[in-house]
Structures are given as C-alpha cells and as structure tokens.
A = this chain, B = another copy of it.
C-alpha cells in the first residue's frame, strides 16, 4: 500500500498502518507523508520505505507508481490527510487505477462526495471509508440480530458520541489535529458532525439497516474563539417510522470516546458501547438480560453471526479493541479487492466495510444537519 498523509506528527496515520500490518498481508511500499518534505522523508525512513518511493506529493506518487510493473507498484492508496485533502487524491488515485482507503468524512462537501461516487462507478475501483466502529465484532452481531428480526420492528434508536477533548480552545494550544479540524477551510461545514457525528450516523444506519429520512438539529459552539460548532443534538426520523436521537459533542468534559448506541424494537433492545466493545447487551421483554461476548462459540440459537466471527482474532475473554476493528476494515477491503482481481465474487463478509455510498450519506448527513440548524422549520428532509 501507499500512503497520502500520515507523517510522524499525525495520529491517525499510525493507526492505519498498525491496522494494515496486523495480519501480515499488507506492506507499506511508498508514501507522500507530509507537505513538509523533511517530515515526509523522515517519516518514510522511519517506516523502512525505500527513499526512491518517498514522494514529494501525491500526484507524483500516483504518476510514478502507475508506471511501475504490477506486483511491484503499490496495490492501493490510503488517504489520511485532513478532510479537505481527501477528494482530489482519492479521485486521481482511482483514475490512475488504484483502489483507495479514505479517512472519514469522505470529503468536505456533498458535491465532492457525489463526484467520488461517480468516479467509483466509472472506474470500477473500490473505495473504503474507515468508519471504524462498524469493524467491531459485536457491532456486526448487533446488525445481524436486527436483520434477522430478533427485536421485531425497530422503533427507537439512540446513538451518541461524547468527547471532551475540545472543552478548551485546544486548536490554539499547538495541537495540530485540533487546529485543522476546527478550521472550516480544512475541515468542512461542521466540526462536531464531520469529526464524530458521521461516525454516529453511520453506526445507527449500519446496525439498523434503516435510513434517516428527516431530522431536526441544534448545533452549538461553546468554546469562545472557535470557528465551528463543538456540540450537536439531533432528533431523527427513520424510513420505517422509527424515531431517534443522535448526540455528538466535543465539549462533554471528561469523556473520551464514549460512542454508544441503543436500539429498541417491538420485542427487545440492544446496547453497545465503544469503551466496552466486546459486550453486546441484549434486553428482551420477559426474560433476563443477555450479554453476548466477542469470540464465543455459542450454540444455537445463540450462535454468533458469521460476520462477527469472521472479524474476530482471539478467543473469548481476551479483549479486542480499536486497532483490531480498524484492521477488520482493512482485511475486508483487501479481500474484496483481491477477489475482484481474481475474478471472484467477494463473500458478504468480505464486502462488509464502509464504502463510497456510506461516504455520500455521511456528507449528506452533515449538510442536512447544518441546514436544519439554520432553519426555523422543525423538520429538514435528509436527501442524498
């Protein structure tokens, strides 16, 4: 794989690399790690990249790599730059024949997102979007149980992502990641929705299989001097009549990455939390609560879904975490790409990773929330 962004000073690049390396099947062979040539070079060297393949910029990288013979050239590109630098490299990469992995949010506008969708459809390449929470085995188990009707018709969805790290004006305290995220030029229309709200929205739709149809949002900038919102609450209405609430906040002081989702149907509900990801709490009417745990060989009718077991690496009781969920996305993406190369239809488990259509919905979600926030109308249609 090749990497755009992810130099030594970036957190998420390292996460992508660990996730990619974990299963021993992906090698980092080239990169344009930073606009700062020195940082890029040093990052590349630290990663054992041959100096000739540490490129000054992504255009050069795409051009040069495309000229290398297959087998030698990179197989795909991972784009881990700030949001405003996702679109162009992703588009060009696909047009140059490379599959791509893009950090979320996919772009900084719905138009760009739709353009990427068009590029995918035109080039036949695969775009993978790293909505990491959908990579957890127990999230996949939740999705499977909803899909098989375990809870009956879904009525209520509560999804939240509270963080506290932007409770102060962190972007002015020398924190590079905060600085670009809080800058509308590099981040997009909404800080809180772009950075974490889309994760919550994706998780809700991923698990329930439902689509948000309309919403009512209230966005706030609590920290003085900040240029974008840092907190948002959204009432949701889904396409089957279900209702919901989505909360995303970066001023929930003291919270870390407390993603949590609860889904209630006619017959029972489920609860999953990122900070305790190997437990899936099932609350059915009339019977004791159940806790499904990653990696167990339950017997029928409790057998874990193939989507859960396919994405599990260690036996029950040994915790798996963020890096494994991230690695699941990489593993499924590369398996799909490989299958396509081999002319084989990927299995449903292999195709189970967020793609360009999720990215388009994510950008539409941000747009709709921002639009609703500015409106005095109660409900704003969610349209793609």
Q: What's the minimum C-beta distance from A283 to chain B, rounded to whole angstroms?
A: 2
Question: Most chain-B CB neighbours within 10 Å: which of A21, A266, A323?
Answer: A323
A274 touching B235, Cβ below 8 Å: no
Q: A24-B28, A288-B296 are in contact. Are A274 and B218 (CB under 8 A)?
A: no
- How far is it, in angstroms, between the C-alpha of A140 and the C-alpha of B266 when the chains are bound? 31
Question: CB of A251 within 8 A of chain B?
Answer: yes
- How far is it, in angstroms, between the C-alpha of A192 and the C-alpha of B18 when the chains are bound? 34
Question: CB of A340 within 8 A of chain B?
Answer: no
- Which A residues lie at the B interface, using CB under 8 A? 11, 14-15, 17-18, 21-25, 28, 47-48, 151, 155-156, 158, 160, 162-164, 167-168, 216, 218, 220, 222, 231, 233, 235, 237, 243-245, 247, 249, 251-258, 262, 264-269, 274-278, 282-293, 295-299, 302, 313-324, 375-379
A156 touching B323, Cβ below 8 Å: no
Q: A285-B167, A378-B216 are in contact. Are A253 and B269 (CB under 8 A)?
A: yes
- How far is it, in angstroms, between the C-alpha of A92 and the C-alpha of B137 when the chains are bound? 41
- Residues of B contacting A318 in the complex (Cβ-Cβ under 8 angstroms): 256-257, 274, 321-322
Q: A253-B266, A265-B253 are in contact. Are A245 and B245 (CB under 8 A)?
A: yes
Closest 8 CB pairs of A and B: A256-B317, A254-B283, A257-B317, A319-B321, A318-B322, A289-B291, A321-B321, A288-B290
B378 touching A254, Cβ below 8 Å: no
- How far is it, in angstroms, between the C-alpha of A103 and the C-alpha of B305 when the chains are bound? 32
- How far is it, in angstroms, between the C-alpha of A293 and the C-alpha of B319 when the chains are bound? 15
B288 touching A293, Cβ below 8 Å: yes
Interface of A is mostly: loop
17 contacts between A and B (CB under 8 A): A21-B23, A22-B323, A155-B251, A156-B231, A218-B235, A254-B285, A255-B269, A256-B317, A275-B278, A288-B290, A288-B292, A290-B290, A290-B291, A314-B321, A318-B321, A319-B320, A321-B321
- Residues of B contacting A257 in the complex (Cβ-Cβ under 8 angstroms): 315-318
- Residues of B contacting A290 in the complex (Cβ-Cβ under 8 angstroms): 288-291
Q: Known A-B contacts: A156-B222, A156-B251. Give 4 more (CB < 8 A).
A: A14-B313, A218-B237, A254-B269, A288-B290
Q: What's the minimum C-beta distance from A268 to chain B, rounded to whole angstroms?
A: 5
A269 touching B293, Cβ below 8 Å: no
- Residues of B contacting A315 in the complex (Cβ-Cβ under 8 angstroms): 11, 256-257
- Residues of B contacting A251 in the complex (Cβ-Cβ under 8 angstroms): 155-156, 264
- How far is it, in angstroms, between the C-alpha of A163 and the C-alpha of B321 when the chains are bound? 21
Q: A253-B269, A267-B253, A276-B276 are in contact. Are A302 and B288 (CB under 8 A)?
A: yes
Q: A243-B220, A297-B286 are in contact. Are A167 and B235 (CB under 8 A)?
A: no
Contact among B11, B231, B275, B322 for A155, CB-based, below 8 A: B231
- Residues of B contacting A267 in the complex (Cβ-Cβ under 8 angstroms): 167, 253
Q: What's the minimum C-beta distance from A326 to chain B, rounded to whole angstroms?
A: 9
Nearest chain B residue, comparing its CB with the CB of A160: B158
Q: What's the minimum C-beta distance from A131 to chain B, rounded to whole angstroms?
A: 14
Q: What's the minimum C-beta distance from A250 to chain B, rounded to whole angstroms?
A: 11
Contact among B11, B48, B168, B252 for A264, CB-based, below 8 A: B252
- Residues of B contacting A268 in the complex (Cβ-Cβ under 8 angstroms): 253-254
- How far is it, in angstroms, between the C-alpha of A252 and the C-alpha of B299 when the chains are bound? 19
- How far is it, in angstroms, between the C-alpha of A314 and the C-alpha of B22 when the chains are bound? 15
B18 touching A22, Cβ below 8 Å: yes
- How far is it, in angstroms, between the C-alpha of A233 and the C-alpha of B314 when the chains are bound? 27
Nearest chain B residue, comparing its CB with the CB of A153: B222
- Residues of B contacting A320 in the complex (Cβ-Cβ under 8 angstroms): 319, 321-323
